[in-house]
Structure 1
Amino acid sequence: MSSVMLPWAIYTLDSIAQPICELSFPGSMDAASSPDETIVPIPPLPQEIMPERGAFRERLCNTNERLESRILMIQTRIHRFPHRLRGIGGEHKSYIVPSVVAIGPYHHGQPHLQEMEEVKQAAAYRLLQGLGCTVEEVYQKILSVASDARRCYDDALPLVEGSRLSDAEFADMLFVDGCFLVWYLTSNHFDDPLLQWCNQSSGPSLTKDIFLLENQIPWLVLDALMELTKKDVRQFVKEKGAFVLSPTTENNRWWMQWGCIRNRHTDESREGTGAANDMEHYKQPPHLLALLRSVLICNMPKEKRESQLRRINIFPSLSIGAIELVQSGVKLTASASTAMSGGFADMKCQKKKPFFFGELSLSPLFLNDAGVSWLVNMAALESVEKASPARGDVDGYVVSSYLSMLAMLMDREEDVHELRSSGVLNSIFSNAQTLAFFKCLGQHLCPGYNYFNTLDEIDGYMRERPLRIAVHRFVYNNKKTIAAFMSFIGVLATILKALYSLKKP
């Protein structure tokens, strides 16, 4: 029989003989106690395994302070991609890891991104040369914000060549990455051969990479550079977001395809603050991805921009595809609220005259590789920081609500086709690819109050009109048969009319 060494077997007899407390159990016959109690000695912990109380207390205090600091900085931190959404990108992590350029420390130094390091350095040189700024002047500006910028990242930054980035290396990285972004986002595509080469060789990938959640630098770095260079990146983000997610003309799609949508005016149109006069309400975002989300939803009504709960207990369990919705008399339409108008992710279900059938209007969406990546990363941003104030009746899941609604409407490929036909969805992907993406996305997203508010509107329509819905569904499903029958009746009536006219004297 094998022996088992119990934890207390190492105690000495003396330690066992000195109990630190006494426990009472029923059933004892000890004379010194009541008939229903027995005294059981509990040995103390050996002195060598007792924690050092002072060090332990200090560790608890430091942990608490560190977490408090993280919570206070949650709106300005550069977050990691949330674990519960990592299944969306599959094994390749295409929505997390940049494909051509690293911005910030999280992916800095990765082998497959080294080619762009030379381009970033050349871009920094071109930016400063064109503006007449010295490297020392700009570098000192970066140094003044470097320590604050470092606090925006996780404590455990990744290793680069086996070691952590020193403060000097971190400042060098901010300098190069920040100058590259300002150069790329504000330079004229037609005037700079290096920028032309970047766009032609990897334009769409660059467009995707600079808006990844883990591929950001703090806004305070960009703000310091914009103050020196008199250039503003916000105009580019406004134009880029509008064109990529809701292109309306073939010309815009051509620009979007090559990743070179930018202000086609001169650089002077961006200098100073004139280009950003209409952007005061998102003047200080934490980073470029947050700025992109802000410009896309800035003109939505406040309650929708915050994803505000309309009324308590409105969480219907309704799940309905696009085809079934149309069969029920709810017409799908593309709303006038688009990414260009700052009303992206808007959705609303309402009754329409004269027969009071329903209409579900959603912001139109164009999907390509860059757009899909942006949507996933904006949803991830909402998940990690909840962009709205910390109140119980708002949750900030604006983009997540919109994507959850689209995912609910897609049960089969015919639903995707119906959304395309209605103008709500346009995509370079096939119906099968689009369906697979949204079904995977819907499994991981957290639907927000905007989603449940709209679902409540649809559910209310369905509950109030059961007879009308049944009639409409019958007509919709048998419209070909009904049309053929009506044609037959028309032909029969014509024949009977002709026969009747022949019988007249």
Structure 2
Amino acid sequence: MAGRNVWGLKRLFLQMSCRRRNFEAFFRRCASTSSQVQENCKASLLKKLNAKIPEESDNVCIYRVPTKLRQVEAKAYDPSIVSIGPYHRGDQHLKEMEEVKLKFFQRVFKSRQEGEDELDRVISAMEKLEPRARSCYADDVKLKRDEFIEMMTIDGCFILQLLREVGGCSSSSLLQRWMLPTLRRDLIKLENQLPMIVLHKLLKLVYANSQCEYSILSLQDLALKFFNPLLQRNSHTNAAGAIVMNGACHFLDLFRSSIFSEIQDQDRKRQPHMIRSVTVLKEAGVVLEKSPNDRAFDVQSEGRFLKILPLHIDDHVGTLFRNMVVFEQCHKKCKPDATAYLFFFDGLVNSADDVEILHYKGIVHHSLGSNEEAANLVNKLCREVDWDGEESYLHKVVCEDIDVYFMSARTKLRGRLVHYYFSNWTVGISTVAGLFALYLTLIQTGCSVADALEYMQEESFWSYLSLSFFLPFSRPFMPLDQKNLNEE
């Protein structure tokens, strides 16, 4: 019996020893694993810490559209028929236009006796310009050097020849009528740009000795003449903004600078909120007028008069504004003037009624079928756009003029009266009818009081008061005239 107990104790001791060794081995493995994780993590972080991350070049001016903005209206940023630059190069739905681009490219060189020699000079110039042109794109361009040079040459020659032919130097048989408006929209989109330095170099090399009258026009003049129909404005360009526009980095920047060049020197301050809607402004007595000057997107206020330059709203304008806003959101060197104007107009237009009022005043013209569609387009332009109101050139109109006018007690009273009692003609008629009924009631009350005073001349006031109090408990009241007849 004792031997059996001894054997059981030995067995228990062996089991406990085995478990202790297993626990020690487990803890050693855990310690080893933890140490290995730390070493691997440290090695990875040191590698990333010492890695050379390419810094953004100062030349960057062509960006990819942020995803949140693209989700609102993708077709406003993606080219429809032609690809310019590397971002959309090779897209399946744009391949049909590649043949047309080659035909324009051939027109540039095949019509010249020294076409091959000129092509050599162009290739050599593009090779020297390639690093700088590549640095203009925010995203890493995957094209090889020879592919990038070929792209710059073909796309640049296509653009220049297109501008000259549309400008009137020669007639183009390569484009159908529907293509030209679509090309304007494609060539103004941010992701579909070629650096202006490339176009300037090609224009200097290829068209320097051209006998065409349009060869004397600068690239700036040709481009603005081509894009001006987007805003339905004439081809006249203001010389005051020539210096600003000469520093443009691509077509979108050039056209945007031509629009806002005349307001570059305006004072800019923080604008914490948007302007009130047209309906609210009208209720408060603000008079909306069409601006007599031709300064694009300039807004002026004089007292309670708000003067706005007419705006033509269509799909072209929507595409133009969206791309200008994205460029201002991405490019730190340009001021958010288009963004400020869009938020101003978005505040004005809250409904189809606001569009109708602006259309009646001659401020808004649209070709979208209905006022509701125009209102929806305007309100959709600012969706997902982040703007803190800094550097707004409209802060004086919104904050210092219109807001000050709204703060007066007279304006607030007028706004409430118009909003609740004269918002439309049916409510106004009801209000007038109610006032007229109240007027008649007052007349009737006055007549009744006059009759009562005649009775009170014979009876004292307290007698009349007691008679009125006990009237429900007494016999029917007999008129004064009938009482006199009965007494007689």
Q: How does 1:83-232 map to 2 (within 5 A)?
A: 83-89=67-73, 93-129=74-110, 133=115, 134-157=118-141, 164-188=142-166, 192-193=170-171, 195-198=172-175, 200-228=177-205, 229-230=207-208, 231=215, 232=218
| Contact map agreement 1:186 1:236 (CA 8 A) in 2 | yes
**Matched length:** 392
Aligned equivalent of 1:422: 361
Retained in 1: the 8 A contact 2:105–2:158? yes
Residues of 2 paired with 1:466 and 1:275: CA distance? 43
Counterpart code for 1:350: E
Moved more, 112-121 or 275-284: 275-284
Query: Partner of 1:333: helix, strand, or coil?
Result: strand
Unaligned runs of 5+ in 1: 1-8, 19-41, 158-163, 253-261, 264-273, 352-357, 389-395, 490-505
> How far 1:416 sits from its partner (Å)?
0.9
Counterpart selection for 1:467 from 379, 404, 410: 410
- Which residue, 281, 284, 289 being the options, matches 1:328? 284
Structure 2 CA distance, aligned partners of 1:423 and 1:119?
A: 41
Alignment of 1:455-494 (within 5 A): 455-457=398-400, 459-468=402-411, 470-471=413-414, 474=417, 477=423
Which amino acid is the alignment partner of residue 319 of structure 2?
S
CA shift in 2, pair 1:277/1:477, >3 Å: closer
Is the radius of gyration larger for structure 1 or structure 2?
2
Which amino acid is the alignment partner of residue 83 of structure 1?
T
Amino acid at match of 1:466: A
Q: Aligned equivalents of 1:97 and 1:87: distance in 2?
A: 12
- Shift, 1:469, TM fit: 5.0
Task: Return closer, same or farther for 1:130/1:472 CA change in 2, 3 Å cut-off.
Answer: farther
Preserved contact between residue 235 and residue 275 of structure 1 (Cα < 8 Å) = no
Which runs of 5 or more structure 2 residues have no equivalent in the other structure? 1-22, 209-214, 437-488
Q: 1:377 aligns with which of 309, 323, 328?
A: 323
| Closer/same/farther in 2, CA of residues 61 and 47 from structure 1, 3 Å limit | closer
User: Could you tell me how far 1:171 is from its partner in structure 2?
Assistant: 0.9
Q: Which amino acid aligns with 2:158?
A: F
Is the Cα–Cα contact under 8 Å of residues 335 and 362 in structure 1 kept in the other structure?
yes
| Contact 1:82–1:383, Cα closer than 8 Å, also in 2 | no
Corresponding residue for residue 49 of structure 1: 40
Q: How does 1:260-275 map to 2 (within 5 A)?
A: none
- Map of 2:258 onto structure 1: 295
Change (3 A) 1:14 1:182: same
Matching residue within 299, 313, 321 for 1:367? 313
Partner SS, residue 303 of structure 1: coil
> CA contact under 8 A between 2:279 and 2:354: conserved in structure 1?
yes
Q: Is the 8 A contact 2:348 2:354 kept in 1?
A: yes
* 2:231 counterpart residue number: 245
Q: Which amino acid aligns with 1:419?
A: L
SS in 2 for 1:302: coil
Change (3 A) 1:61 1:421: farther
1:408-440 deviations in Å (ceiling 9; x for gaps): 111111111111122221111121211111222
Q: Is the 8 A contact 2:60 2:135 kept in 1?
A: no
What percentage of residue pairs aligned between the two structures are identical? 24
Letter in 1 for 2:269: L
Shift of 1:454: 3.4
Structure 2 vs 1, CA of residues 408 and 52 (structure 1 numbering), >3 Å: closer, same or farther? same
Cα drift, residue 319 of structure 1: 5.8
